[in-house]
Structure 1
Amino acid sequence: MGRPPPRFTLTQWHLTTRDHCRNADDQQQLADRILAESERVIEEAEETVLKNKKEVEHHINVKIKDIEFLKSLAGAQKKEMDKEVDAMLLYRERIQDAQRALGTRGLDIIRKCLVLRDQRVGIDLCADEVDIELRKECDMILGVHSLLERLLEQVKEQVRRLRAVTYSLVRDLEDKENVLVIDRHNLVLTENSHNLSTYHGSAPLDPANITQEEWIAHSQQIIDDAQKELVSGRPIRAYVDVLLKQVIEDLWKQYDIVNEAFRRRIQEYKDLKEKLENHHFETVRQVNEAGMTIEKLQKAIAEKEGFMALAHTRLGNRCQRSGVELCRDEAETYLVDEVRQIKNVTSLLQQKLVETQAVQRYLLRTQLQIEEDINVKTNSIKIDEVECMSLRRGMDYHAY
């Protein structure tokens, strides 16, 4: 048998029992208080979380509407920018078409005309009105081409600026679309959704350092920049319209001036050629007439030689008279006078023969010169009327 357990007094039992009861009451009251507090905290936490969730969803909805509004503005602005870019590209094409037309259908033809007119010969190779107006037309086209080149660079620069702003709009639209996807996805998420995760990293989950006002200002600035470029582009297009219209009018005016100069010059050639042909006809007639006159003079001189021989023979026969019969009678006197007159007449005929032959030679040289001048005028008419005017009919200035 071991030692018996210690014995407690009745007082100790009453005290211990009272203490245990008091402790149990205290613990029950504490438990009731904590349980009540926990229920209250649970309710408050549920209310706070739901309230915050609704508040966040409300602000996300507001932000989505703000983004959609700015996105619609930016989208509308982008459409306007695209239209403006297309319009500027069309104007760039118009200017390039004008340059090509001025080069192929204008400048090349004028230069060919100048080269062709350098093939004129003789006195016709002169700096006439046609030559002056052609060179003026050439200088005008070169000046227009230089002006169009500067205008083309201006249009290209405007296209570059428009595309730069359009790129900013596109980037802004893409960013906003990305945000809309994110926030719309956030709206459909609930606390019971799958693939939810709790972040345990050290980096903050709110790295944004741009304020709402700065965000709005940035979006508005892009739209304002686009509107400025739209405003600055329209005067350029208006200037291109006015310039091309004025250039075409000036070119057509100079085209008509050159053609009129050609017509006057061709008519001058034709009038002079007709006059030369009349001179040629008259000169040929005179050459033929001079030839017949020379034949007549030669025949007349030959005939006078017979009369001279007859007179000389008669005088020689009469020299055979003898004695007193060898006297200067009237027959002798008339024979001597006949010889003198035949000699004088022959000398005069020979002088006229020499003069007529000289005139014939001069007329033949004149005929050759006139024929050469006619050939020169025919060549000039062929160059100006047939070749140059045919080329110029291929020139075309229109509203590019």
Structure 2
Amino acid sequence: MGEAQFGVRHVIGVPVATTRLAEQALVCMPPRAAKFTLNEWKMSNEQRCRNTEDQQQLADRILGECERIREETAERAIIMKATSDRRIEERIGDIEFNKNELQMQRREICLELESLSVYKIRVLDCLASLQTNALNICRKCLMLRDGRIGIDLVVDEVEHALQQEITTILGGQSLLKRALEQLNEQMRRLRSTRYLLDRDLQYKQAAIDIDKGSLSLKPTDLCLSVYEGYTSLDPANISAEEYNAYSAKNIQSAAREVTSARPIRIFIDTLLKQVIDDLWSAYNKCNHEFKERIEDTKRAKAKLEDMHRETTEKIADMQNNILELQKALSAKEGNVGLAHTRLGRRAQRIGAELVKDPPGQALYYECEMLRHSTEQLQQMLHEANAALRFLLQTQIQLEEDINVKMNTLKIDEVDCMTLRATMDYHSY
């Protein structure tokens, strides 16, 4: 066998290698499986039968015990559910009784708050009107008047009147705020008590909803879940005595606040009338100063417009003068060119003919006179252009001043007076 595996055979008693070892395909045979005896086979079957009988007997005992436990736990669960349902119904009744008591006290607080809110609304409306309407308009008028430019940005009587009106408004607000503090304090205490009642009512309603929802649940519902946490599933740590004392305290506190709440209506009526009268006085004085200032600005603007019209006419005259001077200079260019051309041509004479004769002297004198005339015209043109620039600069300055006055009139007459027309003081 070994020789066959290595490819060796006997030829006439001599082993001869048919192929080389590296060229042979080696095949490994697996070892044979172990065999058992007949006694071992019988013992194995008997052992398997005994184990099966033992497991069947154990299963019978477990089946019987499971049936007994199922019946016992089912009966126990029904009894415990009925007990829990009865206790939950009793608790719902107790909570609803306390809830009704809290709702009665809450209605009393709401009625008292409504009576106090009437005067609070009057004071708040007045304060809001002074802040968002009167005070903002006065401050906006001051801000708009800061938009005046140039010499018109002046501290005038209008600005003093606006500052005085702002002072009057702030003083009225201060008085109203102090009166409102007394009213707010009582209302704050009522609202605080109502908040505690609302929170208690909310908690009680939530508890009722939870308990009613718990009563409606059945063991067969699909929404049931099993708690698998480590902490206690019932975190309640408040005793029944503490719960009853808490509800009773809220009820007593509400009754005490309703009894102690009293309005201050007469004082607020008198204060509102005094503040409104002072504001009307400051408003009328400021409007009078505005009208006076607007008239002064209009007169100054009219005078500047007259001067601007006269300056515009002078500018037109000067521009025409400059055009005439330019035309005169253009006309002189031909004469200068003619005289220079003649002198140049006569300079080309030859020999003794290149003599200083009267025509040459006349041409030279003509050139000098033309040069002098051109210089005079150019000088006058320069002065005319300078005068035109000054006139244009003056015109621009006048236009700027007129624009300044127009800007001032727009601010005072259009913007500020339009804003002030929306101011309204009345008995709130």
TM-score norm. by structure 2 comes to 0.45
Structure whose residues are more often helix by fraction: 1
TM-score norm. by structure 1 comes to 0.48
